[in-house]
Chains A and B, each alone.
Chain A
Amino acid sequence: MNLFRSEEHARRWEEFEPRMAAMLHPVQWWADTFATPMFRARARSDFISWMSGDEGAAAFAALRERLTPPRPNVAATVAAVTALSQVDLSMLDGASPDDRTVEQHLMRAWPAAVPIDEVRQWRHTAAAMIVAIPSDPPLDVDAQMWTDARRSAVRDVQAADGWLKRAELGAGDVRLTERLRQMGWQGEPADQPAWTAMEQAARAVLLCRRLSLLV
């Protein structure tokens, strides 16, 4: 529970834990948090009684609520799912792991800024779908196609993991910046790792969806 000169300083701290990045806030936010009734009441002459009673319980509950990491951004999720539902699955036909068709298609449909929590959620969804897809294909499905598609989904999730870590650290990539620029990217450079992680996760979801239709 420390103060740092800036977000960059905090992220450079050797004990910075990206998993807890939601607890990184401007000092004014923490000043407001530590101005809630639980802290002001310490000056009361009956603090322990107050804290042990209904008012104290309500103050503590409000504090806990404020300190709970943010819930998924429903609006962003809906926007992403809507965009994803409009993607023509046939574009995956014959796509190889290096094919940029999916990326280009999604780039036209998605908003530029993608919250980290949404990226994480998509990554979890993709990973869960891969687990749910049996490694052995149904009898009437081409085994090689099944295996390749499943492996490709796994690779995409692994790539998403890498980009997610970059996004949590706020670390961009010069090659990515250049590639996205060439493709007409209009967003902020800081959003690129998160966007790319989400794209990779979405690609895995699409692959899994295609396999699930064959089961």
Chain B
Amino acid sequence: MMEFPYIRKRGIYYPIVPVKLVHQGLELITDALVDSGAVVSVFQASISDYFGIDLFEGERIFLQGIGGRIAAYRHHIDLKIGDFSFRSTIAFSREMIPRVNILGRDDFFQHFLITFDELSRKLVLQKINVNI
């Protein structure tokens, strides 16, 4: 079980976790907002640029949010959270207005029981030991 205290930015607390991305020998540790309202994970394209990923080689999808629609490109990449590594699908986009990375449900939520503990301001990830 992993616990992550919410991160405070400008007086507001967010369920943000550190995540390591690994691709073709390069590693990067960044942070991402865990968002149960997001169907897919969306990260900044500056990250895919760092890994040398050709954005447009990925499947193009359009993401509809509360403020409009953006294009993103799906790529497979290895993630590590705490001591748990897994292959995931991340949509990278140059059009995100919020300057965050988002961990959404697809290829992430099914690995964990996730508790948003608002009272204690912490996120709890409990690994599910099943083969998907």
Whether A and B are associated in the same complex: the answer reads no
Contacts from A to B (Cβ < 8 Å): none
Contacts from B to A (Cβ < 8 Å): none
